[in-house]
Each structure stands twice: as structure tokens, then as C-alpha cells.
Amino acid sequence: APVSSTIFRYFRYYELKNRSDACAIHTDIGLFTLIPVSNNPSLEIQDPVTEEWINFESTLQSGDMMVLIGEVT
């Protein structure tokens, strides 16, 4: 496989027809993650204390971007 000379990785998540197609629970690796607001806010984070799933993306407004610093667990 070719070796990349960049530290950036780009992912695009598409609208799902059903929840079973969603990506598995994971943490983001790397120094930071940029998450622009989407037309279909559905990205969730899990509260480490209550283990409740929170749709934080629904709190963003048009033009906003969420920045996650460090590995998100």
C-alpha cells in the first residue's frame, strides 16, 4: 500500500436508511477532529458518567463546527 505523507485523514458519513447501517461505537484517533454541522444531525457522544447517548450535533447552528481535541473516549 502507498505511504501517505500527510497527517490528515478525511471521512464523510452519508445519510443512513436505517440505524443498523451506522458506524460502530468508536473513539477518534489523532490530535484533533473537525465536525462541521450537517443537514441531518445524528452524531452522538456517550456521557462517560451516565452512559447516556447525547445528540450534541443538534445543538449546532448553520456554519458552526465542533472541534474535538485529543483522543475522544
Between 27 and 60, residue with greater pLDDT: 60
On whether the CB atoms of residues 35 and 43 are closer than 8 A, the answer is yes
Average of per-residue pLDDT across 7-30: 70
* Whole-angstrom Cα Rg for the chain: 14
Average of per-residue pLDDT across 4-27: 69
pLDDT band at residue 50, thresholds of 50, 70 and 90? very high
Distance CA 8, CA 41 (A): 24
Dump the DSSP string for 4-34.
P--S-----PPPPSSGGGSPPS----SSEEE
Average of per-residue pLDDT across 38-64: 83
pLDDT band at residue 52, thresholds of 50, 70 and 90? very high
Distance CA 26, CA 29 (A): 9
Asked whether residue 20 carries a pLDDT value surpassing 70, the answer given is: no
